[in-house]
Amino acid sequence: MKSRHETHKASFSSGVIRLGLVVGLGASALLLAATFAKPSHAEVINDDTPVPAVGELGGPFRELNAAEMEMFKRGRKLFDRDWKQSQGLGTEMNADSCRGCHQTGGFGGSGGLDLNVFRFARDFGDPLLFEDLPGGQAGSKIRRPDTPGREDHHPDADVFEQRQTPPVFGLGLVSDIPDAEILANEDPTDSNGDGIKGVARMIDVGGVVEVGKFGWKAQLPQLLDFLSDAAAGELGVTTPDNGRGFAALNDTDGVADPEMTPDEFTDGTFFLMLLAPPPRVGSSDPLVALGEQVFEDVGCATCHIPSLEGAEGPVNLYSDLLLHDIHGPTFRGMSEPGAGVGFYRTVPLWGARLSDPYLHDGRAETILDAVMMHTAEAEGVRQAFEALSGMEQDALIKFVEDL
């Protein structure tokens, strides 16, 4: 346990981990241990588990009628389910339940470094880019020990990048933000000369282009796409064909497909869509009010836009949902079509107090560390932060902790 954390820390200066280093410490043990959920293996939700009140952490964001409440509870149980092999778990997976990774700060929350997911690639000497492996980054899977050809990663992989587990609170409100609302904030050529660009990730869904809103590289457009994608990628569970192309429809584990039934998929989507955003702490400390002003003044709000207009009214997520490069030209990593090396989605800051560590791979232990790691497009803003008085910096951090 201890050595695993030290391994992560030792290698975070480069942002990626060289397999050579890890192999020296026992690669398969590390990978297996790191991707199977540790804090709680057991299901935590049963039929009597109360649903928190409207707007509370773990509750719905609006009143539910009796039928909706039943659906919310069924969806919550699905998120909690420890999938068994007889129900379709694997053969390739990273864990056996959604909750297993999403539980820091509350049910549906984030995950610690020990639960990070790995993306594998090959270092072919390019100054920035790592090469995708055959089959893309989906090589980052664990296979059930009884699976023929079992391997922890592609044999050509010699580097991997990590992805920290973000919380899923409030994401239904994000899913319903119209694409046009996000596109209105794009500035691909930096036309206003503030050094900050911001581009939307455009995803082709069966010939229709949609804005990517979810994932560190904004790789998925709608919240239900993440249910399909995570069921396939994290649990090895097949889901119904909704025509959007993000589901695994069949696998070879002998369990009838789809392993998550259409009704279960509807319940799971409903739960995720209705789950409330993290409530504001609402501290009356005058430093928090000062911090809000400073947050605007130094320019954090240029990317971490306090509010976008959603289908149900304002969504106070503190993000523009656009991709920015805040890492700069020395950052080496992986790219995806439409999201180059170093480009990540502005992370919503609501609930940030509950979801440490920070940034796409968890390299920042605290909110302050995360701020100090902003460079490139955010260079001017970070410098403005550094020029603040100690009290103003403190106020700004207190404000973020209040969100």
Binding site for ligand HEC (CB under 6 A): 35, 94-95, 98, 100-102, 111, 115, 117, 163, 165-166, 168, 171, 196, 214-216, 223, 226-227, 230-231, 234-235, 298-300, 302-304, 324, 326, 344, 346-347, 349, 352, 355, 358-360, 367, 370-371, 374, 377-378, 381, 385, 400
Q: Which is nearer to ligand HEC, 64 or 300 (CB)?
A: 300
- The nearest distance, CB 351 to ligand HEC, in angstroms, is 8
- The nearest distance, CB 297 to ligand HEC, in angstroms, is 10
Q: Which is nearer to ligand HEC, 163 or 332 (CB)?
A: 163
CA dist 260 and 117 (Å) reads: 22
- The nearest distance, CB 163 to ligand HEC, in angstroms, is 4
Put the strands of the sheet holding 17-18 in their side by side order: 17-18, 159-163, 117-121
Name the residue among 313, 303, 153, 163 with its Cα closest to residue 226.
163
Q: Which is nearer to ligand HEC, 115 or 157 (CB)?
A: 115
Name the residue among 176, 211, 174, 180 with its Cα closest to residue 317.
174
Q: Which is nearer to ligand HEC, 59 or 348 (CB)?
A: 348
Q: Do residues 196 and 185 make contact, with C-beta atoms less than 8 angstroms apart?
A: no
- The nearest distance, CB 170 to ligand HEC, in angstroms, is 9
Half-sphere exposure of 211 (CA within 13 A, CB side): 22
Q: Do residues 323 and 344 make contact, with C-beta atoms less than 8 angstroms apart?
A: yes
Phi, psi of 198 (to 5 degrees): 95, 110
CA dist 185 and 319 (Å) reads: 11
- The nearest distance, CB 313 to ligand HEC, in angstroms, is 20
Q: Which is nearer to ligand HEC, 159 or 235 (CB)?
A: 235
Tokens of 119: 């993306």
- The nearest distance, CB 121 to ligand HEC, in angstroms, is 14
Q: Which is nearer to ligand HEC, 100 or 258 (CB)?
A: 100
Q: Which residues contact 324 (CB under 8 A, 6 or more apart)?
A: 196, 197, 198, 303, 343, 344, 346, 376, 377, 378
Q: Which is nearer to ligand HEC, 157 or 378 (CB)?
A: 378
Residue whose tokens read 């090959």: 122
Q: Do residues 218 and 323 make contact, with C-beta atoms less than 8 angstroms apart?
A: yes
- The nearest distance, CB 124 to ligand HEC, in angstroms, is 22
